Amino acid sequence: MAKRCIICSEEAEYKIKDTPDYYCKGCAEENFADLTLLVRVEEEAQKLKKFIDEKINNEQDENHEQDDYSGEN
């Protein structure tokens, strides 16, 4: 599922925010003097993972609350 650099097809480490353009580190540095314009692919993946984890945890918490209620009765 690794993204490929659109220039040299190496494994991409960076992408331009809000676009489907991916770059490896070398091409990113060559084409963009300022790497802050780019997002680390890894960070995006981490963010997504965190979002999913939180969603799962929230759902589990809700289930726990329901268990507590039925225990009181």
Q: Tokens 């300022």 sit at which residue?
A: 34
Smallest gap from Cβ 56 to Zn ion, in A, equals: 35
Distance CA 14, CA 27 (A): 9
Distance CA 66, CA 73 (A): 11
Smallest gap from Cβ 23 to Zn ion, in A, equals: 6
Cβ proximity to Zn ion: between 37 and 72 the closer is: 37
Burial of 25 (0-12, 13-18, 19+ CB in 10 A): middle
Which residues form the interface with Zn ion (CB under 5 A)?
5, 7-8, 10, 24, 27
Cβ proximity to Zn ion: between 8 and 52 the closer is: 8
Cβ proximity to Zn ion: between 8 and 56 the closer is: 8
